């Protein structure tokens, strides 16, 4: 099993699931530069592993997914090193967002600042009932640096995003669900089970088609791409896949499809 200093890396070759757990419980799983680099490396390792088909990202314990950035580390930054830190975080989180394998955040408590940004970089978010979300950076004289201003606006709309960014208000899981920031809210004890079941259901679908769906959705928000063209290209590519032949054959034969991801 691969080991990291600040993460737990737990692949399940028999199911295709990989669980990555931020494991700094004494710091409420706060993000420092080393942890962000480990997240990037762990996600890349999962993307490179053919036995991994989907990723769950969560935090250790029941109090915090990621409580934010490591404030003590932030106080040592200046404008130059601060830009480097932002770009490091954006690179790691963009890797998650662009993943052709589905990544679901199981938010088990506080998801504040960088933690909220990390959750938003995932393709879906499942929140425990005790989860709390917020971008409190203006309280520190900062703005979000890891993509928070962009993804929050994409997920909940401009007006509400501006309100949460400027007030630094923390919202509960039920409001996050109402706003569309999270996909589901479940009891804490059911969080990982629910997330696993959702991801395992996705993994019964054609892997190439799943990855192309994710890419086409991302193309909508990429100013350098035409989302409709990306969808058409993805649609065309599917016809050349063995998964398309298997899916349509299984449908006509009234049996479950067995996809191979090619």
User: Cα separation of 154 and 161, whole Å?
Assistant: 9
**H or E segment to which residue 207 belongs:** helix 207-220
User: Cα separation of 253 and 61, whole Å?
Assistant: 46
Among 14, 62, 117, 190, the active-site one is 117
The per-residue DSSP string of 138-160 comes to GGGT----SSHHHHHHHHH-HHH
Q: Look up 137 and say whether it is catalytic.
A: yes
List CB contacts of 255: < 8 A, sequence separation 6 or more: none
Distances (CA, A) of 182 to 62, 77, 156, 214: 18, 32, 10, 17
Owner of token pair 């199911």: 15
Among 12, 137, 163, 246, the active-site one is 137
The answer to whether the beta carbons of residues 210 and 202 sit under 8 Å apart is yes
The answer to whether the beta carbons of residues 184 and 193 sit under 8 Å apart is no
Q: Look up 129 and say whether it is catalytic.
A: no
The answer to whether the beta carbons of residues 6 and 20 sit under 8 Å apart is no
The residues annotated as belonging to the active site are 117, 137
């Amino acid at each position: 099993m691969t080991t990291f200093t600040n993460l737990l890396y737990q692949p399940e070759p028999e199911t295709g699931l990989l669980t990555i757990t931020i494991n700094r419980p004494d710091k409420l799983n706060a993000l420092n530069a080393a942890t962000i680099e480990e997240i990037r490396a762990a996600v890349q390792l999962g993307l490179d592993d053919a036995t991994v088909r989907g990723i769950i990202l969560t935090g250790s314990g029941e109090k915090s997914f990621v409580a934010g950035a490591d404030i003590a580390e932030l106080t040592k930054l200046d404008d130059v090193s601060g830009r480097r830190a932002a770009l490091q975080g954006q690179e790691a989180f963009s890797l998650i967002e662009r993943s052709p394998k589905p990544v679901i955040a199981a938010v088990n408590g506080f998801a504040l600042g960088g933690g909220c940004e990390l959750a938003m970089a995932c393709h879906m978010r499942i929140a425990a009932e005790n989860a709390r979300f917020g971008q409190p950076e203006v309280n520190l004289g900062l703005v979000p640096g890891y993509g928070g201003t962009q993804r929050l606006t994409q997920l909940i709309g401009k007006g509400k995003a501006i309100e949460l960014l400027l007030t630094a208000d923390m919202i509960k899981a039920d409001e996050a669900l109402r706003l569309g920031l999270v996909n589901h809210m479940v009891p804490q004890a059911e969080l990982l089970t629910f997330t696993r079941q959702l991801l395992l259901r996705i993994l019964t679908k054609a892997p190439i088609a799943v990855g192309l769906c994710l890419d086409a959705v991302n193309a909508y928000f990429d100013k350098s791409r035409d989302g409709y063209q990306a969808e058409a290209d993805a649609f065309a590519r599917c016809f050349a896949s063995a998964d398309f032949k298997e899916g349509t054959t299984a449908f006509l034969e009234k049996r479950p499809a067995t996809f191979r991801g090619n």
